């Protein structure tokens, strides 16, 4: 089951990564800052929908689980791991992370995950440092692709 969760999470990340090359802004942080409240709410709704789909599939083990109440409970537990905070609090924290220029190249899903760690009281300094390195490498890759076109 853990393997399926990881695979579904990777699938969501790959979809978001594929979409990232379409951004004409210089960074994820600049794009995030350009969003108004409705666009940020749409991000939260989309993210929550993706998580709900993933968690429901994992909880039902792709249709093998027939106990409806057990599926509901597992789905709720999984969902709360990824979306278990007030959306406004998550968005405010993401705004704070993107206010730091060092974080501007970290993709939305990375800042989102670090935000959940912060709000959950989990140490995130190491993950943030690695995410900054990943974001810098990703920016180089996106810039190189843009030059090819």
Per-residue pLDDT reduced to its tens digit, 40-73:
999 999 988 888 888 887 777 755 666 778 888 8
Name the residue among 91, 84, 79 with its Cα closest to residue 121.
84
Entry pTM: 0.73
Report the alpha-carbon distance of residue 13 to residue 106 in Å, rounded: 13
**Residue 142, token pair as written in the block:** 């996106």
Question: How big is the chain by its Cα radius of gyration, in Å?
Answer: 16
Residues contacting residue 69 through CB under 8 Å, at least 6 positions apart: none
State the chain's maximal CA–CA distance in angstroms.
53
108 pLDDT above the threshold of 80? yes
* pLDDT above 90: percentage of residues in the chain: 46
- Whether 9 contacts 58, CB under 8 Å: no
Return mean pLDDT, the chain: 82
User: What does the pLDDT look like over 3-30, one tens digit per residue?
Assistant: 555 445 545 554 555 454 444 557 999 9
**Residue 6, token pair as written in the block:** 């990881």
């Amino acid at each position: 089951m853990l393997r399926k969760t990881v695979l579904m999470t990777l699938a969501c990340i790959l979809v978001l990564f594929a979409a990232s090359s379409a951004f004409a802004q210089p960074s994820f942080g600049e794009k995030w800052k350009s969003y108004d409240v409705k666009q940020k709410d749409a991000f939260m709704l989309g993210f929550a929908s993706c998580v709900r789909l993933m968690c429901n599939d994992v909880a039902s083990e792709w249709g093998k689980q027939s106990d409806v109440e057990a599926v509901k409970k597992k789905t709720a537990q999984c969902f709360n791991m990824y979306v278990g905070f007030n959306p406004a609090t998550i968005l405010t924290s993401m705004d704070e992370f993107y206010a730091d220029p060092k974080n501007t190249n970290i993709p939305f899903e990375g800042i989102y995950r670090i935000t959940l760690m912060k709000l959950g009281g989990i140490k995130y300094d190491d993950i943030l440092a690695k995410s900054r390195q990943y974001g810098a490498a990703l920016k180089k890759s996106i810039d190189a692709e843009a030059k090819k076109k």
